[in-house]
Amino acid sequence: MSLPRELFEETTLYDRILFVALLLLSVSSFFLVGEIIPSGGTVTIEVDGRTAYRLSLHDDRVVEVRGPIGVTRVEISNSRVRVTESPGPRKLCIRQGWTERGVIICLPNRVVIRVGGEGWGGLDAISG
Amino acid sequence: MQSRSRNPRPDPGSLPMRLTSALLGLLVILVSSCELRKERMFRRSEFLMDTIVTITVVSGSKGKADEAIGKAFGELERLEGLLDFFSPASEISEINREASAAPVRVSQETFDLLERALEVSEKTDGAFDITVGAVVSLYDFQGKKSPPAGLIRERLPLVDYRNVILDRETMTVKLAREGMLIDPGGITKGYAADRAVEVLRSEGIRAALVAVAGDIRGYGSKPDGSPWRIGIRDPRGKGREDVIATVELKDMAISTSGDYERFFIQDGKRIHHLIDPRTGYPARGVISATVLAPLAVYTDSLATALFISGVERGLEIAETLGFDALIIDDEGGYHMTESLRGRVEFTKGAV
């Protein structure tokens, strides 16, 4: 008698139901993990390529980081992030305003703020 | 009297049998979880070449991904040392200091890149020109000051790619006029993206995306098999994250030039950094030009060239070279090559 046949014969209906349920659970995990596990709730502040802070997007606070040319001040409020102070001459990162998801870059001070996890809202990069 | 079986079957409802079933199920879960972890995306950003460079690789091993990314960044650092306009030790600086007096011998790599830059100049009627630096340097974008017309007129004769004389036999570069400056900044970022991709490929990485600012080259596909998705920045959007369209990128490069990168407003006019080498003034008529081609060295330089050439000539150049292009005119109208139609997903309608 072959092993699968033997196994089949020696299991009860409940064993089989349990097996199918576990199988379904494992298959569904492929599709559901991304939905069940919350993502996009973090703010990562990098200075010169190194992570300085990893914070919750949902805790309001003000953080200051020191880059090569001075201090960049980052504000987290109402699940949004903005830069309120930056030593860069053109203040582009301040002008960007509130961001709920994406990346804020203060290039002269080498500060990168990633809001809501990796990437730019489902995009892998932005040209322009 | 009850008879007993010769080979008694285990009780199917017994604890050991139930445990066996449960363990079998768990095994299935574990195997599928391992499959989930098989390939992942690893990303790192660094400040190089006066901008932010982000490298994303697809790999089943963090160690392998880290090593490959490290080597790719190493290659970019090497190129920065070789080609940086501002670094006194670079070959470009040496050319700018000495090549108007006598030919300067350069590395094969610098020579090949300059040759390619001149090739693009030739094919775009000089709309892309690495000698435009002599005029661009007159504009003070931080101080928001345009140069006087007389000064532009005076410097304009120094701008002509045909006065960069390359001699492959001696591997030398000569600048025909004193005061000429070459600035390959409009092509080096694309070239750097191409080189980084070569390094990643040689390290056995099957898929990667290299973004040197907005000059991006991707190959292979993401762990789920889908192609890289790239946003094209809205030239009049609120910031870099505000995109006007998305496009899929597989074994291709993409670059965009726009009048929003460096600019100031003077007398109601936008004075931006994309200076027409033939006039010495900011090019008009276009606010953004995007090019897709197999190599970033071409998309980088051609995005600038198409912006400066205007809608009609810009599309003509792209069609002739067999590349894809999307040009947005100064009234917000979209114009694209036939080959690109249906491949761009617009997130906003034409203004």
* DSSP character string of B243-267: EEEEEEESSEEEEEEETTSSEEEET
Q: pLDDT higher for B345 or B22?
A: B345
> Is the per-residue pLDDT at A28 higher than 80?
no
Rg value, chain A, Cα: 24
Residue whose tokens read 């953004």 = B288
The verdict on a CB contact (< 8 Å) between B47 and A49 is: yes
Strand pairing class (B334-336; A61-67): unpaired
Q: So what's the pLDDT on residue B203?
A: 98
Strand pairing class (B164-167; B215-219): unpaired
Q: pLDDT higher for B58 or A13?
A: B58
Q: Is residue B125 part of a domain?
A: yes
The verdict on a CB contact (< 8 Å) between B142 and A46 is: no
Structural domain containing residue B175: 87-183
Q: Which of residues 53-92 of A touch B (CB under 8 A)?
A: 89-90, 92
Provide the number of structural domains found in chain B: 1
A21 in B contact zone (CB under 8 Å): yes
A29 in B contact zone (CB under 8 Å): yes
Q: So what's the pLDDT on residue B19?
A: 66
> Is the per-residue pLDDT at B215 higher than 60?
yes
Q: So what's the pLDDT on residue B195?
A: 98
> Is the per-residue pLDDT at B310 higher than 90?
yes
Which ipTM value was assigned to this complex?
A: 0.85
At the top level of CATH, the class of A42-115 is: mainly beta
> Is the per-residue pLDDT at A33 higher than 60?
no
What average pLDDT does this structure show over B101-127?
98
β-pair partners for B140: B145
pLDDT, one tens digit per residue, over B131-177 is 999 999 999 998 999 999 999 999 999 999 999 999 999 999 999 99
pLDDT, one tens digit per residue, over B33-54 is 554 558 999 999 899 998 999 9
The verdict on a CB contact (< 8 Å) between B25 and A120 is: no
pLDDT, one tens digit per residue, over A74-95 is 999 888 999 999 998 888 889 8
pLDDT, one tens digit per residue, over A96-117 is 889 887 888 888 899 989 887 5
Out of A15, A92, A128, name the one closest to residue B232 (CB): A128
Q: So what's the pLDDT on residue B330?
A: 96
C-alpha distances out from residue B217 to A30, B73, B191, B210, B214, Å? 30, 15, 10, 5, 10
Chain centre to alpha carbon of residue A44:
9
The CATH number covering residue B123 comes to 1.10.3980.10
- Contact list, B246 vs chain A (CB under 8 Å): 123
Encode B227-239: b = buried (16+ Cβ within 10 Å), e = exposed: bbbbbbbbbbeeb
Q: So what's the pLDDT on residue B22?
A: 65
Q: Which chain A residue is nearest to residue B35, measuring alpha carbons?
A: A30
Residues B226 and B250 sit within 8 Å (Cβ to Cβ): no
